Amino acid sequence: MDHALSPLLIRIAEALERLAPPAPAPADFSAARLFRHDPETGGFHPAPDYPLSLDSLVGVERQKARFVENLERFAQGLPANHVLLWGVRGTGKSSIAKAAFMAVGGGYEALKLVEV
């Protein structure tokens, strides 16, 4: 490399370092059981525990049982399936996921839920 270009390239590299956004702080997953992901910063923010109990969701008994069974298998490190919940807005997809997590997650310290 040409030695005359070296100081210029160093200045450019230093300027790029100053312009780059700071690296996100490492996530502290011991701070909570529920987290929200912030896509702008890439960070994970603790969220309060979900207050709705799984028993409060009525009319979806079979779905709740299958969801909890699958989540418990996942938490125990056993084979488990991915879960796809679909439906129009307001049908309880997030509620069943969070309520099932709160019902199962208390027995597994390492199990965390991240809302994306």
Q: What ranges do the domains of the chain cover?
A: 25-115
pTM: 0.74
Cα 116 to Cα 94: distance, rounded to the nearest angstrom: 11
* Per-residue model confidence (pLDDT) at position 78: 95
Q: What residue has token string 């979806």?
A: 60
89 has pLDDT over 90: yes
Q: What is the mean pLDDT of the chain?
A: 90
Confidence of residue 113 (pLDDT cuts 50, 70, 90): very high
Cα 57 to Cα 53: distance, rounded to the nearest angstrom: 8
Eight-state DSSP code of residue 56: G
109 Rama sector, left if φ>0, alpha if ψ -120 to 50, beta otherwise? alpha
1 has pLDDT over 60: no
Percent of the chain with pLDDT over 70: 98
